[in-house]
Amino acid sequence: MGVQDNNMIDGKAFTDSPVEFVVSELTLLRFSLIFTIAYPVLLTIAFLLWFPASYLRQGLTFLWHLVLWLIPIVVVHEGLHAIVWALSGAKWRNIRFGFHRQYFTFYTHCKVPISKFTYFAGGIAPFVFLSILPAVYAFYIPSYYWLAFAIFNGWACAADLLMCYYVLLLPPKVHLLDHPEKLGFFIYSTQQKA
């Protein structure tokens, strides 16, 4: 199979036809429901094993502050995807931001295929920086306010986590192109050198 001009993207040669992978709405709903229940329950139980229940009132304060946090959280969340992708080799001109009306969600989209590692790193970045690190901080100081912050951001990362799971199942030498309309991607295999 020869390399065609239309299979050259940013100097990389890909096989003729990518494989489309799309997560069904039902799969996303199931994962989101399980994660939405399990994540806060597990973190809260762990927190209560170390600290008194009086700290839980701080979580109510966070709910009031959520109105103020919402826009900065969305900007930072989507920005983390873009920054990690850009630092890992994608060019800024190939990254765009948008809002999907049907699913009422913001998104970051990379318009060119990127390596499996780059796709995964950009996908997991908001969870690490906006959920895991604040959860660790919440246990360190202790503060249920920051744990509520971590829980909320964990929920906001549910689709990202599901996609990262599927990315881990792929062979190491693939490149992924964000699906422009659905939760999913196109899988490209790089051409073997003769």
pLDDT (tens digit per residue) in 128-185:
999 999 999 999 999 988 999 999 999 999 999 999 999 999 998 899 999 988 899 9
If phi > 0 it is left, if psi is from -120 to 50 it is alpha, else beta; for residue 105 that is beta
The model's pTM is 0.84
Query: With contact defined as beta carbons under 8 Å apart, do 165 and 179 qualify?
Result: no
DSSP strand pairing (12-13 vs 174-178): unpaired
All residues at 6 or more sequence positions from 24 whose CB lies less than 8 Å from its CB, including other chains: none
Q: What pLDDT was estimated at residue 118?
A: 95
Which among 131, 133, 136, 137 has a CA at the least distance from the CA of 153?
Answer: 131
Residues of the chain below pLDDT 50: 1-6, 8-10, 193-194
Which among 103, 128, 125, 127 has a CA at the least distance from the CA of 179?
Answer: 103
Q: What pLDDT was estimated at residue 138?
A: 95
Q: What pLDDT was estimated at residue 16?
A: 59
For the record, the structure tokens of 55 come out as: 């700290």
Query: With contact defined as beta carbons under 8 Å apart, do 187 and 21 qualify?
Result: yes
Q: φ, ψ for residue 61 (rounded to 5)?
A: -60, -40
Q: What pLDDT was estimated at residue 1?
A: 28
Domain-wise residue ranges, the chain: 9-189
